[in-house]
């Protein structure tokens, strides 16, 4: 349970990081907080030849507000985002989800951007990025590109990132007026979620649902939006009958595939339906 | 432009451990927990699961509780590290340690340094009631006590009744 041998570099500029990634391609891995990567190293599930530590890169340490949204750099810890009053105001869903990410000791080191780049199917932050319509800023030695959250997550632990690219920041549009909620079921507080859902919702003046976005995590291979449920709820008042229908359609449309010692896909779909019911109910209340 | 370092298999590091400056050349794959235990002989930091679940290896890095099995020693370069040895008085026990003893907050003691370091890195007012104390302690596993004695100890040390 110790990491395999690797070479380590800690460049002090983003250009240095990009050059090492360009020269070494798939043999190099970016190290941010290490809360996902170091367990993989300890289990020897990952055997990179080179770790490129981004801790000393000033250009990746920003947590700033721009155009009413958040820009979170790749080395910003989850704890820093969790305890930010500005984040709580602009992106309350992010503030609500972070206490569910691992334990306090993990969040002190782990990064928001690292968790998104890692793309664990049971992770909260990829689903939050999907619900809030976040944009990924990706860079390599040959240039920049932006990837919307809905195109970023391709499979378990698999994203649209190329081996020579780094996710330099994630941009979250500010949605201070939206109602938000996140719920999950896990064997122990801080453990990987068996199933969870993140949501945001706005209401019209008469109290009816105007716009709602919902994303499941822990249920299938990637975080999943629920367009059928979202369309059903739009324009409706949240009644017990609507909530029953919301839960039913979630169960029917969840791409539930994850299976482990805790739960099979059918159970995950059932739990997902119940959690979506509760999240919509809480947001509409 | 700053020079890009060549990736290396060993790295010179300098850190403060329990107030003492430590300078070592460490293998890049060396975990902080192993540096503390095997090279500095600070064996109060215990390694249980070695993948971040059990919390026995919790230490403070720059004042924050972290898992020393999920941190490379090179990542602690330039940091202040505090282990359970660093919070233990020369004579006797700290108030939290004494409370663990008084309230049966430990039996075999393997997990205890991790609990103590988690508690040493937080402000009591951020965990105002029993539920929030239990939430705080969720990142540390104890297989002996059933947690009741541990929660009792924390509530007593933080001057609260249950």
Please tell me the distance in Å from A102's CA to the nearest CA on chain B. 8
Write the residue in B6, B29, B58 that is nearest to A6 by C-beta.
B29
Where do we find the tokens 């990081």? A17
For residue A1, name the pLDDT band (cuts at 50, 70, 90): confident
Same domain, B83 and B101: no
For residue A177, name the pLDDT band (cuts at 50, 70, 90): confident
Note whether A16 contacts B2, CB cutoff 8 Å: yes
pLDDT of A38 reads: 97
Note whether B2 contacts A12, CB cutoff 8 Å: yes
pLDDT digits (tens, 9 = 90+) for B137-150: 999 999 999 999 99
pLDDT digits (tens, 9 = 90+) for A184-227: 999 888 888 999 999 999 999 998 999 999 999 999 999 999 99
CA dihedral A156, A38, B69, A105 (to 10 degrees): -60
37-96 of B, contacting A, C-beta below 8 A: 50-52, 55, 58, 61, 64-67, 69-72, 74-75
Q: Look up the domain containing B14 and give its range.
A: 10-87
Question: Which residues does A32 contact at the CB level (< 8 Å), separation at least 6?
Answer: A54, A55, A74, A75, A110, A111, A113, A114
Measured between beta carbons, which residues in chain A are less than 8 angstroms from residue B5?
A: 9-11, 16
Note whether A103 contacts B139, CB cutoff 8 Å: yes
Two structure tokens written together for A56: 């000393």
Query: In what side-by-side order are the strands of the sheet with B80-82?
Result: B20-27, B10-17, B80-82, B58-61, B64-67
Structural domains in chain B (count): 2
CA distance A92 to A178: 9
Listed residue (B114, B104, B105) closest to B54, CA to CA = B114
- pLDDT at B2 exceeding the cut of 70: no
pLDDT of A257 reads: 86
Domain holding B145: CATH number?
Answer: 1.10.150.120
Residue B29, chain A, CB below 8 Å: the answer is yes
Mean predicted confidence (pLDDT) in B91-101 = 97
Q: Is ipTM > 0.90 here?
A: yes
- Which of A31, A48, A105 has the most B C-beta neighbours within 10 Å, making it the best mutation to test the interface with B? A105
Same domain, B60 and B106: no
Note whether B11 contacts A20, CB cutoff 8 Å: no
E strands, chain A, in order: 7-9, 28-31, 50-53, 63-66, 69-73, 135-140, 143-148, 153-155, 158-159, 166-172, 179-185, 195-203, 209-217, 224-225
Please tell me the distance in Å from B122's CA to the nearest CA on chain A. 10
pLDDT of A188 reads: 85
> Is B151 within the bounds of a domain?
yes
CA distance A260 to A78: 27
What is the assigned CATH class of domain A7-53? alpha beta
pLDDT digits (tens, 9 = 90+) for A8-43: 999 999 999 999 999 998 899 999 999 999 999 999
Note whether B66 contacts A41, CB cutoff 8 Å: no
Mean predicted confidence (pLDDT) in A161-188 = 94
Two structure tokens written together for B99: 């409370």
Two structure tokens written together for A195: 């199933």
> Quick one: fold of A179-284?
Enolase-like; domain 1 (3.30.390)
Looking at B87, B112, B139, the residue that finishes a domain is: B87
- pLDDT at B1 exceeding the cut of 60: no
Same domain, B21 and B44: yes
- pLDDT at A258 exceeding the cut of 80: yes
| Gyration radius from chain B CA atoms | 17
- Domain A58-172 CATH (choose: 3.40.50.720, 3.30.70.580, 3.30.465.10, 3.40.190.10): 3.30.465.10
Same domain, B118 and B55: no
SS3 call for B117: helix
pTM, 2 dp: 0.96
């Amino acid at each position: 349970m110790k990491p395999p041998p690797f070479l380590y570099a800690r460049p002090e500029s983003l250009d240095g990081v990009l050059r090492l990634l360009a020269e070494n391609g798939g043999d190099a891995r970016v190290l941010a907080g290490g809360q996902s990567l170091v367990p993989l190293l300890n289990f020897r599930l990952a055997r990179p030849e080179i770790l490129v530590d981004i801790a000393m890169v000033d250009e990746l340490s920003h947590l700033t507000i721009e155009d009413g949204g958040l820009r979170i750099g790749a080395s910003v810890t989850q704890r820093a985002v969790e305890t930010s009053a500005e984040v709580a105001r602009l992106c309350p869903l992010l503030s609500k989800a972070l206490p569910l990410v691992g334990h306090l000791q993990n969040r002190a080191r782990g990064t928001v951007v690292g968790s998104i780049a890692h793309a664990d199917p049971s992770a909260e932050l990829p689903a939050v990025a999907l619900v809030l319509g976040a944009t990924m800023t990706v860079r390599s030695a040959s240039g920049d590109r932006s990837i919307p959250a809905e195109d970023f997550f391709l499979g378990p632990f698999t994203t649209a990132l190329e081996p020579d690219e780094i996710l330099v920041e994630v941009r979250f549009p500010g949605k201070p007026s939206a109602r938000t909620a996140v719920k999950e079921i896990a064997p122990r507080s801080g453990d990987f979620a068996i199933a969870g859902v993140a949501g945001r919702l706005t209401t019209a003046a008469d109290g009816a649902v105007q716009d709602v976005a919902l994303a499941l995590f822990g249920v299938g291979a990637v975080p999943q939006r629920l367009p059928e449920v979202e369309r059903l709820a739009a324009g409706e008042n949240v009644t017990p009958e609507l909530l029953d229908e919301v839960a039913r359609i979630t169960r029917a449309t969840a791409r539930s595939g994850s299976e482990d010692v805790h739960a099979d896909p059918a159970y995950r779909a059932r739990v997902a339906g119940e959690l979506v019911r509760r999240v919509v109910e809480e947001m509409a209340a | 432009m700053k020079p890009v370092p060549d990736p290396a298999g060993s790295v010179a590091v300098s850190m403060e451990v329990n107030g003492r400056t430590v300078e070592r050349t460490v293998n890049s794959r060396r975990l902080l927990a192993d540096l503390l235990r095997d090279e500095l002989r600070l064996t109060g930091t215990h390694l249980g699961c070695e993948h971040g679940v059990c919390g026995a290896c919790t230490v403070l890095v720059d004042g924050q509780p972290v898992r020393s099995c999920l941190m490379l020693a090179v990542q602690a370069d330039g940091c202040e590290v505090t282990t359970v040895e660093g919070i233990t008085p020369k004579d006797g026990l700290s108030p939290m340690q004494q409370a663990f003893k008084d309230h049966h907050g430990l039996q075999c003691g393997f997990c205890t340094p991790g609990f103590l370091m988690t508690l040493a890195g937080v402000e009591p007012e951020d965990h105002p009631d029993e539920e929030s104390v239990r939430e705080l302690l969720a990142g540390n596993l104890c297989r002996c006590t059933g947690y009741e004695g541990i929660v009792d100890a924390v509530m007593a040390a933080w001057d609260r009744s249950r």
